[in-house]
């Protein structure tokens, strides 16, 4: 047997040897190479307690660590790590690296206290791994118009692109041992989002990734499909130095705590659990409407943002959920127009023609803003916007009733994650009889809000933010 050991910098052939010895030597050599890759003259970072800072090696990723349009960092692991810093009593500094391998290098070389970058737990590395934050499944993704891939053998002659240093890459290399005809491509400094976009554009053949990154990409590229499921599951975890058990124990205790108090589940819902709600047909229709209908009404949505401060893309997402951007839409309950306003609501907002798209959009945006203002100050964003969206469907009376039910059930009435499980109870007689406003289809409000979240997320990726034009200078005014 001949083994090739690959890192970002080296590809070393190892001589034929028994499999157990080869595995041991490859693991040991990996540790040596990772250590050797670091700058020899750079001192190791001080202990996080004496430094007063937890330095985290990461990489840019749509799920774990990203920079939003306003220049602020966010993401599932980003928010968790800020909470970890509060627990440990230190600040958290994020140091982005080009890829996961270099982020892991930084921990092994003593340049970071830990690495967090959607890392699959890999016990073969000379590191300590935290308890898992979430489970992950790995898949091979292709195009729906590509060659059929019914079995693993159909991968022969195909080229699979995969991010280096990931468990998906290891699984592909295992397949390559069984099927030498499989070609493996390691793109330089390309994350899953870029790989899957290139696949959709036809410049790549196949991509190995995890199911969640595929779900994110499929919302923009419905032509993508899973063509092969890779065996086994893994856990996304944080990588820590092997010689700091106290830090590892503190991190594991923190993960246990946020799992028990629901914070882990709430952050998962905020960043990715809602993504799987739309099916391929929904996404394809939405993308077609963005091309065909949105340009006619974009100026009205942006005017609505200028008047209310609500992101125009969120207003557009609500409008799409309500009417598919059809200004003539009418329901059997009597709501009408682009934003599907009731007659009473339209009168309160000064909308005299609900079928006029501009009036409807401006009125609906103002109504959404009013609902946000009516919620208590202790409800923070983004939960505030999501609960106002559900109230757009239900009315604030039913939302207040649902929040009262949540408190009686011992649930947090300020958190959308908790309210999602309470709102469907409004249709049950044993709960509805306690409501002044009577029963309601709370489950529909949950579906509406989750769909709006998806539509808004897609629009944010495709449409730029609103930038109001600078006021023109009067004649004779100095520059």
- Would you please indicate which residues are annotated as catalytic (active-site) residues? 322
Distances (CA, A) of 121 to 87, 210, 240, 358: 23, 13, 11, 52
Cα-Cα-Cα-Cα dihedral sign, residues 37, 43, 49, 52: negative
Closest CA to 162 of 100, 115, 216: 100
Asked whether 351 and 366 are in contact (CB, 8 A), the reply is no
The CB-side HSE value for 302 (13 A sphere, CA atoms) comes to 13
Instruction: Answer left, alpha or beta for residue 334, where phi above 0 means left and psi between -120 and 50 means alpha.
Output: left
Cα-Cα-Cα-Cα dihedral sign, residues 274, 275, 277, 282: positive
Rounded Cα gap, residues 70 and 299, in angstroms: 21
Closest CA to 74 of 312, 270, 273: 270
Rounded Cα gap, residues 39 and 36, in angstroms: 8
Rounded Cα gap, residues 109 and 87, in angstroms: 26
3-state secondary structure 290-304: HHHCHHHHHHHHHHH
Q: DSSP for 76-129? A: HHHHHHHHHHHHHTSEEEEEE-SSHHHHHHHHHTTS-SEE-SS-B--TTSSEEE
Cα-Cα-Cα-Cα dihedral sign, residues 216, 115, 43, 48: positive
Asked whether 399 and 387 are in contact (CB, 8 A), the reply is yes
């Amino acid at each position: 047997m001949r083994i090739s050991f690959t890192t970002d910098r080296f590809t070393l052939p190892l001589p034929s040897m028994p499999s157990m010895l080869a595995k041991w030597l490859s693991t040991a050599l990996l540790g040596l190479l990772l250590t050797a890759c670091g700058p020899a003259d750079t001192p190791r970072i001080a202990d996080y307690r004496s430094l007063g800072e937890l330095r985290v090696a990461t990489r840019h990723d749509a799920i774990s660590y990203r920079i939003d349009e306003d220049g602020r960092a966010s993401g599932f692991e980003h928010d968790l790590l800020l909470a970890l810093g509060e627990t440990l009593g230190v600040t958290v500094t994020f140091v982005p690296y080009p890829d996961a391998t270099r982020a892991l290098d930084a921990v092994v070389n003593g340049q970071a206290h830990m690495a967090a970058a959607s890392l699959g737990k890999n016990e073969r590395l000379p590191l300590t791994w935290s308890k898992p934050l979430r489970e992950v499944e790995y898949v091979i993704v292709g195009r729906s118009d590509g060659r059929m891939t019914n079995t693993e053998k159909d991968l022969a002659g195909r080229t699979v692109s995969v991010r280096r240093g990931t468990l998906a890459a290891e699984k592909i290399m295992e397949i390559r041992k069984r099927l030498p005809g499989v070609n493996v491509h390691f793109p330089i400094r390309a994350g899953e989002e870029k790989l899957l976009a290139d696949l959709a554009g036809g410049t790549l053949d196949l991509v190995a990734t995890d199911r969640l990154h595929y779900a994110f990409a499929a919302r923009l590229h419905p032509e993508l499909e899973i063509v092969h499921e890779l065996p086994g599951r893994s856990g996304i975890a944080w990588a820590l130095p092997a010689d700091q058990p106290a830090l590892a124990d503190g991190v594991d205790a923190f993960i246990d705590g946020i799992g028990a108090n629901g914070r882990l589940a709430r952050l998962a819902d905020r960043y990715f659990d809602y993504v799987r709600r739309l099916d391929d047909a929904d996404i394809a229709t939405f993308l077609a409407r963005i091309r065909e209908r949105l340009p006619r009404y974009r100026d009205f949505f942006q005017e609505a943002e200028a008047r209310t401060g609500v992101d125009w893309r969120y207003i557009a997402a609500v409008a799409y959920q309500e009417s598919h951007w059809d200004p003539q839409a009418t329901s059997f309950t009597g709501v009408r127009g682009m934003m599907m306003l009731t007659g009473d609501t339209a009168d309160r907002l000064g909308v005299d023609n609900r079928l006029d798209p501009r009036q409807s959009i401006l009125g609906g945006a103002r109504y959404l803003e009013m609902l946000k203002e009516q919620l208590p100050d202790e409800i923070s964003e983004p939960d505030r916007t999501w609960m106002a969206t559900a109230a757009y469907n239900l009315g604030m009376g039913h939302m207040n009733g649902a929040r009262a039910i949540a408190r009686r059930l011992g649930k947090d009435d300020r958190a959308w994650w908790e309210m999602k499980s309470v709102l469907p109870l409004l249709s049950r007689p044993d709960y509805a009889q306690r409501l002044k406003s009577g029963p309601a289809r709370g489950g529909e409000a949950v579906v509406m809000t989750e769909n709006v979240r998806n539509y808004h997320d897609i629009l944010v990726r495709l449409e730029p933010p609103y930038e109001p034009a600078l006021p023109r200078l009067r004649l004779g005014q100095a520059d």
